DNA sequence: ATGTCC
């Protein structure tokens, strides 16, 4: 049987391009098409698509790529979503999975990570030597030098080239809109994980046979231990969404703009409120990149405590799956929104950072708890979808429904609790994160199969969880 | 996802 991995769905307001295998497609909630129909009513849109992990969100589905031409474009805070700049980071260590064979050692590592990375108090990561204003304005370039250690990339450079973008420039006047309290809270939250689906995970990797050449170029080794981080812009991005969202809502009401969904917000890029939003959105992208960088810094400190000063943790890559920005393709400027959608550029695309120009950059895709994550690379045929792939497994069940359905025993057994292969979790009570059990999510392997089948990307390495650090409310 | 309020 020939499986289809892509189809165009015609709706009254336009076409949504759906990248999903037949099985996943059949299981899609009709509400994702209602949402698409509303989103397609925003004027001048040139392209909209769904990834195989698409699911209903606020105003817009998570798993959406939505594109305008910059010259007559629109920005939608709803298509970006409220966790602006949320994304992934992977660091490579000089440990082999056998070094972490003992459950006791994995427990110790998790405990020490918690010492450097506050997970109970979400606002305890006070870095008094970091000026929040500097990192908000200059991204990673606003950090004191001590946070950019030597040997931080596989090529042992101190460069900040192993990120999607190390600094987002914007009109800084927009920052005057925020009260002191927002600055204070965000300073205290720097370097904290947050909760929900955010995590730090210790994983071991398996290289995909047909991508060994790329894996080698990236410094990946079979059985290598890696650190995967998933976090965003914390309350800074939340404040941006809230502040801009309420102003744009009022403007839309006054000007009679809108769709059937009052939670779907948008404005033409030329509107002053749209410009303020884009400026503040970029400030949140700076915060998010720095936040993940500082979380990695904390894990690195913990690693040195546990394994000694020879412990290394070099940056593979940092990239995001929630944002809107300008992007050039074949000389044309587009304004691209990705919400739960990850850019995966192929080799030689000019937007690749220099170290990844000849291979394409790593695209980092998290699975759900207890399941695999993936390090992928974009394919040239991904152009059809503006080089966008999935963001993870994709939720199929609400947090409350998951808590009703899944038992603690089922959750524990998916984490292999009590066996030698136990995926050690920091939370004393799994009950506090029961809504993150794998039963709340689609099967990530099926999602990845769809992405490959559609010709969007290839797997370079599969990452298997060994220990997970989560925040919880 | 988030902080805040019920």
- Write out pLDDT tens, residues A143-156: 998 898 766 666 66
CA–C1' nearest nucleotide, residue A399? B1
Contacts of residue A403, defined as CB under 8 A and 6 or more positions apart, other chains included, come to A434, A435
A238 close to A58: Cβ distance less than 8 angstroms:
no
Residue A154 is predicted with a pLDDT of 66
Separation of CA A88 from chain center: 4
CB contact set of A218 (below 8 Å; sequence gap of 6+): A154, A316, A359, A362, A460
Residue nearest to nucleotide B3 (CA to C1'): A235
Q: Which nucleotide is nearest to A237 (CA to C1')?
A: B2
Q: Kindly give, in sequence order, each residue whose CB lies less than 8 Å from that of residue A381, ignoring residues fewer than 6 positions away.
A: A455, A456
Query: Does domain A7-470 fall into CATH 3.90.1860.10?
Result: yes
Contacts of strand B, CB cut-off 7 Å? A 58, 82-83, 86, 122-123, 181, 185, 189, 194-198, 231-232, 234-235, 238, 241, 471
Secondary structure (3-state) at A250: helix
Going residue by residue through chain A, which has 473 residues, state the pLDDT in tens, using 9 for 90 and above.
678 999 999 999 999 999 999 999 999 999 999 999 999 999 999 999 999 999 999 999 999 999 999 999 999 999 999 999 999 999 999 999 999 999 999 999 999 999 999 887 666 767 889 999 999 999 999 999 889 876 666 666 666 889 999 999 999 999 998 999 999 999 999 999 998 999 999 999 999 999 999 999 999 999 999 999 999 999 999 999 999 999 999 999 999 999 999 999 999 999 999 999 999 999 999 999 999 999 999 999 999 999 999 999 999 999 999 999 999 999 999 999 999 999 999 999 999 999 999 999 999 999 999 999 999 999 999 999 999 999 999 889 889 999 999 999 999 999 999 999 999 999 888 999 999 999 999 999 999 999 999 999 999 999 999 999 998 77
Return positions of chain B under 7 A from a protein CB.
1-4
DSSP 8-state class, residue A91: E
pTM for the full model? 0.96
The owner of tokens 């992208």 is A285
In Å, what is the separation between the CA of A164 and the C1' of B3?
29
Residue A149: its pLDDT value, please? 76
Question: Annotated binding site of A for Mn(2+), which residues?
Answer: 83, 198, 230, 321
CA distances from A378 to A287, A345, A349, A360, A375 (A): 26, 5, 10, 7, 10
């Amino acid at each position: 049987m020939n499986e289809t991995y892509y189809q165009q769905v015609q709706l009254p307001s336009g076409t949504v391009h759906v990248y999903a295998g037949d099985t996943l497609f059949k299981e899609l909630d009709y509400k994702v098409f209602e949402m698409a129909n509303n989103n397609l009513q925003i004027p001048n849109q040139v392209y909209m698509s769904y990834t195989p992990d698409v699911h209903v969100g606020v105003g817009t589905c998570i798993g959406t790529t939505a594109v305008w031409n910059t010259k007559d474009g629109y920005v939608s805070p709803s298509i970006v979503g409220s966790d602006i700049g949320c994304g992934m980071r992977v660091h490579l260590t000089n440990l082999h999975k056998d070094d972490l064979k003992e459950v006791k050692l994995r427990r110790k590592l998790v405990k020490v990570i918690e010492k450097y990375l506050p997970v109970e108090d979400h606002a305890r990561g006070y870095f008094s030597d970091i000026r929040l204003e500097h990192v908000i304005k200059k991204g990673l370039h606003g950090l004191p030098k001590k946070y950019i250690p030597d040997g931080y990339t596989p090529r042992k450079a101190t460069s900040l080239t192993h990120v999607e973008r190390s600094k987002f420039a914007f009109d800084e006047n927009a920052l005057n809109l925020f009260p002191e309290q927002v600055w204070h809270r965000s300073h205290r939250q720097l370097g904290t994980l947050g909760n929900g689906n955010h995590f730090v995970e210790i994983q071991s990797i398996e290289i995909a046979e047909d991508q060994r050449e790329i894996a080698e170029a990236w410094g990946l080794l079979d059985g290598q231990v890696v650190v995967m981080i998933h976090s965003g812009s914390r309350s800074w991005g939340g404040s941006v969404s809230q502040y801009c969202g309420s102003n744009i809502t009022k403007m839309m009401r006054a000007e009679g703009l809108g769709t059937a969904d009052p939670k779907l917000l948008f404005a033409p890029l030329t509107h002053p409120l749209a410009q303020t939003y884009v400026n503040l959105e970029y400030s949140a992208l700076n915060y998010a990149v720095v936040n993940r960088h500082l979380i990695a810094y904390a894990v690195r400190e913990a690693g040195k405590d546990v394994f000694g000063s020879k412990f290394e943790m070099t940056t593979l890559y940092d990239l995001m799956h929630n944002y809107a920005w300008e992007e050039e393709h074949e000389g044309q400027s587009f304004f691209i929104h990705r919400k739960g959608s990850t850019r995966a550029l192929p080799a030689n695309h000019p937007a690749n950072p220099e170290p990844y120009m000849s291979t394409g950059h790593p695209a980092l895709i998290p699975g759900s708890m207890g399941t695999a994550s993936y390090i992928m690379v974009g394919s040239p045929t991904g152009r059809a979808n503006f080089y966008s792939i999935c963001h993870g497994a994709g939720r199929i069940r609400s947090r409350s429904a998951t808590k009703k359905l899944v038992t603690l025993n089922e959750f524990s057994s998916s984490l292999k609790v009590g066996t030698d292969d136990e995926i050690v979790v920091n939370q004393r009570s799994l009950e506090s994160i029961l809504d993150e059990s794998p039963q709340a999510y689609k099967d990530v392997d099926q999602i990845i199969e769809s992405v490959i089948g559609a010709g969007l990307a290839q797997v370079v390495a599969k990452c298997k969880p060994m220990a997970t650090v989560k925040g919880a409310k």
